[in-house]
Structure 1
């Protein structure tokens, strides 16, 4: 048994013993007979002895219920054998029988007692009620005290047990309805994501594909090297945009879960090439890489690529001309990236909506990583992220 059950049984035993002792004292006060009448001693002794059965009520619910009802029957017969004033006192002041009968009813209604055994207990309670009203010589006092003594407490206990079961059923229904509502909302969101993914693909993918093909044709037919290089860069950026668009559409259709990149894509996006590209665009960037990149999964590598790209873009927009340092540290189980930029002036037309960083944080946290951004205390800005090195396609970080 649990500690709580043991404590509850101990409290119940104490209550029954106290009720037995209090009944004896009140009987003595009512009949004004000292010492206590022998009939009262017999009743108190029966109550004290029977109280001990509550300690096994969880293991033997039917036996405990039958014992309690049998003891109550014996006490009632003792009260009828006593003088009239003593019998009325024993029935009217004893709280032990109602409390004990409530325990018996709780046993047969809450302990999974078979129907046949519970019927036996209720038949015995019915017989006790019939005997308690003394039908062979009824009086108002004995009928009222007999009903209060035998029938009222079991009926109240039965009502409370039924009410408790009804409340549990209502709670279960409410929980089930809440789960169903949540599932319907999730299904509606999934349908909306799929619809958005389809519209996004139809609206953007076709036009970007045409731009990429046109740029490829220009790079082949370009009259000079500069034009060929510009066309090739445009084609490369368009191809990368298509890859990212396809991945975004896939994420929307999968309900926001990331997955592995196709097998023909590089395992880790080239951070060094991203930094070199920023340098060719006129941005002063220092790149420091420590550790082995091959331990990084594709999902983590692509997320790291987006972190650095967003950080470099923000530095160009909000700290134009400031030097930037990118530190990438590859650990056995983590990858840590820190991007710092010095103080600079915002570029013309730059805005600070913060949606880029918000989306980046969601992406990092979706694979079990953390993202910290804010001023570095020296007038510049600092972005730091720590992500698990290995991320499964469906299960998230290991």
Structure 2
């Protein structure tokens, strides 16, 4: 827990603010000031009463009724400005904490009655000597100044805080609704993409798989049969991967128990073997023990090799390709180098292969280098840092 959170928890009775505690301490000290020359009976009453009043004012934010009752009880006995301060603070506290409720109006009645008693008692008020009008004016001024104005100020503060709280709740609600609408829009777009992929890509790959299977059965020579079988197996694997992607797009989650597992670094050898079976000239160099990686790094490395081999077959058909996977200085290095192509390809590229490759490598925390070689070929090199140590 942060240090600020600890202080806020300890000062919860003072709204989590240290300055509020200091203000209440100052008010409580001022309110318990003794008269200049207290009578003997006042000393016996005021000393324990002021202790209770001090505690009540110190905890007024948490227990406003305690402050009201103690201040009202001590008001006829105070004889100083401190007792008036306690009454004003108690009235303001109840109004600002409870708002226009029965508690506020009840505190107004209690404090008003205490002020009437204080102003009318001969020992404290001495107003009867100046006539009835003086008594009336004194009562009116005392109640307005010490009860009415603090209560109105507290009600105004309560209304302002309630308005700010309402505005904050509306802002949070609006932000929550905006996020919900954005999430719904993303979900709808994902499902639309899934439908398009299913209707277009899945259908065409299925046709390729069926045609390759038929060619395998009717091939007149061994080589044609082998190539057709490679096409059929590759298209079937593509359908499985596409099925998993469609499921992820629709459900917004990956299903590890699906029909097709996510590709890893161990699948590079099988990937190269399928390309060699299709007639590609690929040399694969692997370490004696395949290094252990995270699933993200293994998947990104596999996709780099897959995309690089695809690009070599499209842009440099028939050229020799060298694929290397190695661990260099705590980094996993994947490198694919192809020579100059001697023929033309009929497969049109989308132009997003290198972009997607770079995005995958970056998300896995690696770096990608691509470019021409001295012999006119092409080189793709991906390095992934923070390689996990291999287990024995």
Report the equivalent of 1:3.
Answer: 10
Query: Which residue of 187, 197, 200 corresponds with 1:203?
Result: 200
Cα separation, 2, equivalents of 1:10 and 1:198: 63
Structure 1 residues 210 and 248: alpha-carbon distance in aligned structure 2, compared to 1, 3 A threshold: same
- Aligned to 1:326, the other structure's residue is in SS state strand
Report the equivalent of 2:92.
Answer: 102
TM superposition shift of 1:152: 0.8
- Aligned to 1:339, the other structure's residue is in SS state strand
Q: How does 1:125-140 map to 2 (within 5 A)?
A: 125-128=111-114, 137-138=134-135
Could you give the per-residue CA deviations for residues 74-97 of structure 1, whole angstroms, max 9, x where no partner exists?
Answer: 44xx47xxxxxxxxxx59x96554
Count of residue correspondences = 346
Unaligned ranges ≥5, structure 1 = 25-34, 80-89, 330-335, 390-398
Cα separation, 2, equivalents of 1:358 and 1:116: 68
Cα separation, 2, equivalents of 1:132 and 1:381: 94
TM superposition shift of 1:249: 1.3
Report the equivalent of 1:154.
Answer: 151
Report the equivalent of 1:371.
Answer: 365
Q: CA RMSD, aligned part only?
A: 5.0
Report the equivalent of 1:262.
Answer: 258
Aligned residues of 1:371 and 1:383 also touching (Cα < 8 A): no
Unaligned ranges ≥5, structure 2 = 1-7, 121-131, 374-378
Aligned residues of 2:115 and 2:143 also touching (Cα < 8 A): yes
Cα separation, 1, equivalents of 2:301 and 2:209: 25
Report the equivalent of 1:309.
Answer: 306
Report the equivalent of 1:392.
Answer: none
Query: Which residue of 231, 236, 258 corresponds with 1:234?
Result: 231
TM superposition shift of 1:11: 1.0
TM superposition shift of 1:186: 0.9
Aligned residues of 2:325 and 2:333 also touching (Cα < 8 A): yes
TM, length-normalised to structure 1: 0.65
Aligned residues of 1:57 and 1:107 also touching (Cα < 8 A): no
Could you give the per-residue CA deviations for residues 227-263 of structure 1, whole angstroms, max 9, x where no partner exists?
Answer: 22222222222222222221221121112x2212535
TM superposition shift of 1:150: 2.4
Structure 1 residues 57 and 97: alpha-carbon distance in aligned structure 2, compared to 1, 3 A threshold: closer
Cα separation, 2, equivalents of 1:207 and 1:341: 29
Cα separation, 2, equivalents of 1:171 and 1:132: 44
Aligned residues of 1:216 and 1:231 also touching (Cα < 8 A): yes
TM, length-normalised to structure 2: 0.66
Cα separation, 1, equivalents of 2:51 and 2:69: 16
- Aligned to 2:365, the other structure's residue is in SS state strand
Aligned residues of 1:361 and 1:371 also touching (Cα < 8 A): yes
Could you give the per-residue CA deviations for residues 277-318 of structure 1, whole angstroms, max 9, x where no partner exists?
Answer: 45662344312263599x998x99766643542355568889
| 1:52 matched to 2:47 | no
Aligned residues of 2:91 and 2:108 also touching (Cα < 8 A): no
Structure 1 residues 324 and 227: alpha-carbon distance in aligned structure 2, compared to 1, 3 A threshold: closer
Aligned residues of 2:248 and 2:254 also touching (Cα < 8 A): yes
TM superposition shift of 1:193: 1.3
Aligned residues of 1:129 and 1:151 also touching (Cα < 8 A): no
